[in-house]
Structures are given as structure tokens and as C-alpha cells.
Chain A
Amino acid sequence: NFMLTQPHSVSESPGKTVTISCTRSSDSFASKYVQWYQQRPGSSPITVIYDDNQRPSGVPDRFSGSIDSSSNSASLTISGLKTEDEADYYCQSYDGSTWVFGGGTKLTVL
């Protein structure tokens, strides 16, 4: 089993770019795939990135995902920040038998 560690919170101003990290405790993200989910206050989660860097239909291209195998981490980058991006973001991966979520990162856009 492994754990996914995210920063508790990040903040940035509208129009700027923010990156949220997700670090895997063991093994590598290589061929393990990472997904990212957005959960606005009072709402159910939605998928913003799957398969490391793919966007489901309807998700704006301001959202992008990447993997850094050297640091065993994944990142979600949101450019051109909007106030509507203020939400909790969760990374997720699969360990061969169970689904693992990161602890979540609260993004504040102010």
C-alpha cells in the first residue's frame, strides 16, 4: 500500500497560475496513473484530470496534469485562476487492489 500526500492549502490571486502537488509514499507514479477531483463547497466531487493529464469533456484547458517521476510526485496546474476554482482538490491513484485518495488541498482564490 502507499499514501498520497498533498499540501493542506494553497492560495493565489485571480488570473494567476497555481500548482498543487501530490507525492506518492512508495514506488513510482510511472505507469500508475493519477486522477484529480475538484469538490466545491457543498457539492459532490467532479473529475478534472484522469490518466495523469487527460481532461474529461467540459473541463476547461486551464486545468492540466503532469507527473515528475524523479520526485515521485504528480501536479495539478490551474492557470488563469477564477474565483469559481476555489474548491478542495484531491489526487487519486490505484495500488493494484484498492483506490487511494490524497488528503485534499484547499485552494483559495483571493
Chain B
Amino acid sequence: EVQLVESGGGLVQPGGSPRLSCAASGFTFSNYWMHWVRQAPGKGLVWVSVINSDGTSTRYADSVKGRFTISRDNAKNTLYLQMNSLRAEDTAVYYCARGRYCGGDCYWIDSWGQGTLVTVSS
């Protein structure tokens, strides 16, 4: 069974730099692209970032580019999101998610963690 367990959320001051982790199990982690997706309270899903299976390629949403860094440790089956210069609008539940490819431009997410809440407030 695929399991994705996020940690590292909590109350953070504006400008803070928390690091989120996502422990993966139940599948061969090093074979999959991995995503971070966030959801502000009462709002919709917003894609944040993706990393390819060996960690050599990353992409970011414009809203976090230059502030957030996605990385992974395939030996530890763990995905990370280093968040810097946090703002109130970064307050959200952050989901770790497993990516899948089905040909052409068909990219989707097949598994989601339970999420970790990051609250940016003084």
C-alpha cells in the first residue's frame, strides 16, 4: 500500500524557513516523480512543485519560484520542501503526492498524503 506521510508543518513567523518532509513507503520511491500541492483554508488545490525521479530536474509555480526548493533523498525514501521567506499567503495544507505519466502530455497524480498545515502568522 502506498503511504505518504508529511511532517514539518506548524506555526511559522513571516519570513520564516521551515522544511517539510514526506516519508514514502509501499512503493519504489526512486521510480516516481513527486509533487507538492497546497490548499489554503477553504480554498482549492494549487500545484507548488515537482521533482523528477532522480532529483536532477525540478519545476515550480511562479508564486513560489526563488523561495521554495524541492529535493529528495532516494536512499531515505523522503521528499522535502524547503520554504524560505514565508508570507501570510503561503498559509495552507501542503500535500505530498506521487506523480504518474500516461503518455504524451498526460501527467497526473495517483496518490496523496494526508497533508501538513503551515500557518504563517506573527
With A94-B106, A98-B47, A104-B45 as contacts: A44 and B35 at CB distance below 8 Å: no
The answer to whether the Cβ of A101 comes within 8 Å of any Cβ in the partner chain is yes
Among A44, A90, A96, A104, chain B packs the most CB atoms within 10 A around the CB of: A44
Bound: A46/B109 CA distance, A: 9
In the complex, are the beta carbons of B106 and A33 less than 8 A apart? yes
In the complex, are the beta carbons of A33 and B35 less than 8 A apart? no
Tell me how many residue pairs across A and B have CB atoms closer than 8 Å.
Answer: 68
In the complex, are the beta carbons of B44 and A99 less than 8 A apart? no
Counting contact residues on chain B (CB < 8 A from A), the size range is 20 to 34
Interface string of A72-110 (1 = CB under 8 A from B): 000000000000000010101010111111111000000
Supply 14 further A-B pairs (C-beta < 8 A) apart from A31-B104, A50-B102: A35-B108, A44-B95, A45-B109, A50-B106, A51-B102, A90-B45, A92-B45, A94-B106, A94-B107, A98-B47, A99-B47, A100-B47, A101-B37, A102-B44
Q: Which A residues are within 8 Å of any B CB, using their own CB? A: 31-33, 35, 37, 39, 44-47, 50-51, 54, 56, 88, 90, 92, 94, 96-104
Q: Which B residues are within 8 Å of any A CB, using their own CB? A: 35, 37, 44-47, 50, 59, 61, 95, 100, 102-110, 112-115
